[in-house]
Amino acid sequence: MPSVLNFLLQKKTALFLWFGLSFFAVIKQAFSHHYNNYLIYKFTFFNVIHQHNLYLPQPEHFLDVNHYGPLFALFIAPFVWLPDPVAVVLWVMFNAYILFVAINHLPLVNQHKIIILLLCAHELMTASFSVQFNPCMAAIILLSFILIRQKKDFWAACLIILGTFIKLYGIVGLAFFFFSDHKLKLILSLIFWSVAFFVLPMLLSSPAFIIQTYRDWLKVLIEKDAENAASVMQDISVMGLIRRIFHLPKISDGIVLLPALAVFGSSYLFIKKYNELPYQLLILSSTLLFTVLFSSGSESPTYIIAFAGVAIWFVNLPKPVTPLQIALLVFAFILTSLSPSDIFPKSIKNEYIVKYSLKALPCLLVWLTVIYETWTRNMKDQTEKTELAV
């Protein structure tokens, strides 16, 4: 058993699983031409160029509709000129690489980074199988945190606004505002990048069209939020858990979201802990989990964001780790990460896990644990040990 553990904790093993599982998933999709999400991304670019409404159905090109902002047209632009199967593979591997870079820059010892890669590799494969943007979004949130810690507020603001203008989730980077030593610079940088990214898509199109596109985007997001509660594959969230377990399909998101925001915000009451690295990592974990748990748009591939939060929570625990903490991690890995795989029989998967949004349950328990730890954990001793290790 120790030899197996030593093998798993080698960096080359982690890298093989991280990139290998995603490559396997996307190659399968590329050869079978199952990459509808990529086609949505691709035609975001062409619709901006030709000034076609980005949010209307285009069944001749793809199923479903686009839910990304016009700035995404520039983000996806380098891929759209390649043959679709090649572009799909490069897109997925680019997402995997960007998230790897973000994890590699976390203020953690190398062994902890390897553990995060190992814990998240299967969840990354789930996102890669769906050709999702979510690994990039997880990286954007992580890098926003990292850059603020590195006192690179201008570039942290760039990523926060970039993520917001692409998929709104990026706005959660503001959760790290209080860790900045240059708050005024950060605020001014946020304003600068908001203007820049608002205007930038106009270079591909026209000011009038892009302004109208932002109005259309707001409208389609409101409509999508209303549709999510009725979708089996969407709303894998705390709201979805409550709606489906207690048969309350019409319960308002606000009834759950407002108390959740208050609980999330309660972690910021401990101002003396702001400069302690373990506390900052707890806030990072809480932010990654909160982003997914309290979004009605969350689906299975979105959980690469949340599971990064689970992994960071685990490596940030004071040592020795308790059996209860290990049990919670194992529960999360099995029910959240492995549940979409063929390990689970379809009857269990469809009749229980999907039907009741149970993929969200372990992450909710981890999030509540993280919140409790921000209230109660003595950060000083752990900070000294962590900084020595780093």
Any residues with CB less than 8 A from the CB of 132 and at least 6 apart, and which? 37, 95, 301, 302, 304
pLDDT value of position 388? 42
- Alpha carbon distance 355, 179 (integer Å): 40
> Tokens 């999907």 sit at which residue?
354
pLDDT value of position 229? 64
Q: Give the chain's mean pLDDT.
A: 93
- Alpha carbon distance 167, 256 (integer Å): 22
For 266-301, write each residue's pLDDT tens digit. Answer: 999 999 999 999 999 999 999 999 999 999 889 999
The model's confidence at residue 385, banded by pLDDT at 50, 70 and 90, is low
Confirm whether pTM is higher than 0.85: yes
Please determine, for residue 390, whether its predicted confidence score (pLDDT) is greater than 80. Answer: no
Tell me which residue of 274, 271, 277 sits closest to 106, measured CA to CA: 277
Phi, psi of 71, deg, nearest 5: -60, -25
Q: Find the helix or strand (DSSP H, E) in which 107 lies.
A: none
For 146-163, write each residue's pLDDT tens digit. Answer: 999 999 999 999 999 999
Angle at CA of residue 213, ends 207 and 216, nearest 5°: 150
pLDDT value of position 387? 46
Q: Measured between alpha carbons, how far is residue 291 from residues 5, 26, 169, 245, 298 in Å?
A: 32, 25, 7, 21, 9
- Alpha carbon distance 247, 241 (integer Å): 9
For 40-51, write each residue's pLDDT tens digit. Answer: 999 999 999 999
Tell me which residue of 263, 266, 256 sits closest to 294, measured CA to CA: 256
The model's confidence at residue 2, banded by pLDDT at 50, 70 and 90, is low
If you average pLDDT over residues 45-68, what whole number do you get?
A: 93
If you average pLDDT over residues 233-248, what whole number do you get?
A: 89
If you average pLDDT over residues 26-41, what whole number do you get?
A: 91
The model's confidence at residue 1, banded by pLDDT at 50, 70 and 90, is low
Phi, psi of 346, deg, nearest 5: -60, -35
Residue 118: HSE in the Cβ half-sphere, 13 Å Cα cutoff: 19
For 298-322, write each residue's pLDDT tens digit. Answer: 999 999 999 999 999 999 999 999 9
> Cis link prior to 70 (omega < 30° from 0)?
no
For 321-379, write each residue's pLDDT tens digit. Answer: 999 999 999 999 999 999 988 888 888 988 899 899 999 999 999 999 999 999 999 87
pLDDT value of position 4? 66
- Alpha carbon distance 120, 14 (integer Å): 10
Kindly state the tokens that stand for 216: 């259309």
- Other CB atoms closer than 10 Å to residue 11's CB: what's the count? 12
Any residues with CB less than 8 A from the CB of 297 and at least 6 apart, and which? 67, 224, 225, 228, 234, 235
Any residues with CB less than 8 A from the CB of 162 and at least 6 apart, and which? 71, 75, 140, 170, 193, 197
Please determine, for residue 265, whether its predicted confidence score (pLDDT) is greater than 50. Answer: yes
Every domain of the chain and the residues it spans: 7-226, 229-390
Angle at CA of residue 141, ends 137 and 144, nearest 5°: 135
